[in-house]
Amino acid sequence: MTDVRRPGLFLSFEGMDGSGKTTQMSLLIDRLRQEGYDVLETAEPGGTPIGRQIRRILLDGANQELSSRAELLLYFACRAQNVDEWIRPALTAGRIVVSDRFTDSTLAYQGAGRGLPLDTIHALHRFACGPTAPDLTIYLDIDRAIGLARAHARNAERAAAAQPDETRIDDEAPEFHDRVHQAYAALCDNEPNRIRRIDAAQDIGQVHADIWDAVASRVAAHALRKGPAHV
């Protein structure tokens, strides 16, 4: 449930790795700022300094012994810190928060992908986040094989540049990613008012136009004030 008392607006991006979330988030944030809105950009896992330390544990391909339950708890530890330190204060101050992933990712990857109980995930969300949840979620829908090919190419570039390994999830079996993709489709069907599905196979400009169409109407309805808001 979304906290209706806050003055800010919470937007999240979801999708398979390789769907273009990073590019489209950047385009949206730039446009919102050009329109005069104060925007906080965050990501999961990561966001806060503590969250970035947790991210290294979660995504490092060397951590193959990390259990599914431990993985789930680490994601929510990261999310709780992000909500407490960054997201909730920004929303209270009337800012727009744009997050690369939130609890929908956990439902898809740890729920459907790992087979962990959905009621446990929902209970952990309530404990870690309280009423804080996205007002609008942009789901970038891409063919699983295309997305994984892009993700593996990105990981190869990171390795060549001696950047930290983040391959642990991407290297899961194709069946894992099929379950994740199916879970996202179900989420879209179950929450059509919150989740806006965007065809990520279109060219970058058209994807951005579709996203802006969804976001602009929500921003207008929220009556957000422009200019910097200080947390």
pLDDT, one tens digit per residue, over 80-130 is 999 999 999 999 999 999 999 999 999 999 999 999 999 999 999 999 999
CA 139 to chain centre: 9
User: What global pTM score does this model have?
Assistant: 0.90
Q: What domains are there in the chain, each with its CATH number?
A: 9-222 (3.40.50.300)
